[in-house]
Structure 1
Amino acid sequence: MTMKQVDPGVEVAAPTPVLDGATLPNDLVTGVKFGPPTDEDLTTVSALRANSEPWKGRGETQEESLKALTQLKPFLHVGRLQNQVVGYVTVERDGPVPGAAYLRNIVVKPELRRHGVGAMLLDKALDVARDMYRKTIALRVDPANAPAVGFYRKAGFTTVATVVSKKSGKLRLLMSREL
């Protein structure tokens, strides 16, 4: 991360340039590259998470996001475009459905939503689950988050149960799909 000096002895991160939808490559599929997160990526990803729902609505700070993501680092896959983090996905070997991989999070940089980045992150998650020799992948989603529910349904996920979140006490749809 580039640092710039503001006051003597005080350094702050230089702002990350915003990717403009008009300047995106025509073929995002070949433009987005995936890899494990670097320590620098974790800072960027934690800011992305802290400013996205549901974490933003819960008042989760960037520091709390960083702590949570540090614990999830082995399961974290970061998407980069033009050397900038555009989103991430976490996939664990086990979750709430026995024998199924667990897609914990997909988060896309706000200015790149509805440009296919979420679909690429989901495809990466499916590949990771297959590499884990899983035949099914499951996730939980807030039923009030209609765009997310529609996104997962379009990708072939079906609702298998309605569960109560241990963290928030709110209802969540438990969805899964075959690989």
Structure 2
Amino acid sequence: MTMNRVDAGVEVGAKPVPDMANLPNDLSLAVKYNTPSDEDMASVAGLRANSEPWLSRGETLDDSLKALTGLRPFVHVAKVQNQVVGYVTVERDGPVPGAAYMRNIVIKPELRRRGVGSAVLNQALQVARDMYRKTIALRVDPANSTAVSFYRKAGFTTVATVVSKKSGKLRLLMSREL
């Protein structure tokens, strides 16, 4: 085992925040993807717990970590400057027979409308193609007009309106060909 010297006063384990001032306007080329490490899972859980709809449901960080641990094989972490900026989960099967299923896509709020969401969505589409799927599906709250618009611009169409088993609320079931 190698030991590194740590200067006094340096907080070990603290992650630097991406340098917002030096980020390009279109971050899509700066985003890198990987499977999540244990440390990444903690960051991803923090993103989820502080994003809608989980925030308004009162989901704790521990709840998010538990839920994401069950999804870990399907989690793809997006990083910029080696810092987690978002994630997407893509499963081989979901509510539409034969289609991949995108369960979650979450981007740090301060990086939205900078190309990160589109880049992460494109990664999800590629993951679905790598699973030899020809279609990808997702569910979204129809009241989340920003998300619905984002998916429509990306070529998704509404195929059904369904009731969420967890919340009992209506959701749009959307899909698109790959």
TM-score (norm 1): 0.89
Gaps of 5+ in 1: 1-10
Q: Residues 160 and 172 of structure 2 are in contact (CA less than 8 Å); yes or no, is this contact kept in structure 1? A: yes
Q: CA deviation digits over 1:88-146, x for unaligned, max 9?
A: 00000000000000000100011101111000010000000000000000000000000
* 1:40 alignment partner in structure 2: 39
* 2:101 alignment partner in structure 1: 102
Q: Residues 162 and 172 of structure 1 are in contact (CA less than 8 Å); yes or no, is this contact kept in structure 2? A: yes
Q: Is the alpha carbon distance of 1:164 and 1:12 closer, same or farther for their aligned partners in structure 2, counting shifts above 3 Å?
A: farther
What is the CA–CA distance in structure 2 between the aligned matches of 1:149 and 1:53, rounded to whole Å? 14
3-state SS, counterpart of residue 119 of structure 1: helix
3-state SS, counterpart of residue 121 of structure 1: helix
* 2:72 alignment partner in structure 1: 73
What is the CA–CA distance in structure 2 between the aligned matches of 1:147 and 1:17, rounded to whole Å? 29
Establish whether residue 63 from structure 1 lines up as the match of residue 62 from structure 2. Answer: yes
Q: Percent identity?
A: 76
Alignment of 1:67-146 (within 5 A): 67-146=66-145
Gaps of 5+ in 2: 1-10
Paired residues in the alignment total 168
What is the CA–CA distance in structure 2 between the aligned matches of 1:73 and 1:144, rounded to whole Å? 28
TM-score (norm 2): 0.90
Q: Residues 75 and 90 of structure 1 are in contact (CA less than 8 Å); yes or no, is this contact kept in structure 2? A: yes
CA RMSD of aligned residues (A): 1.7
* 1:171 alignment partner in structure 2: 170
* 1:5 alignment partner in structure 2: none
Deviation at 1:21, TM superposition (A): 4.3
* 1:53 alignment partner in structure 2: 52
Q: Which has the higher strand share?
A: 1
For 1:122, give the aligned amino acid: L
For 1:170, give the aligned amino acid: K
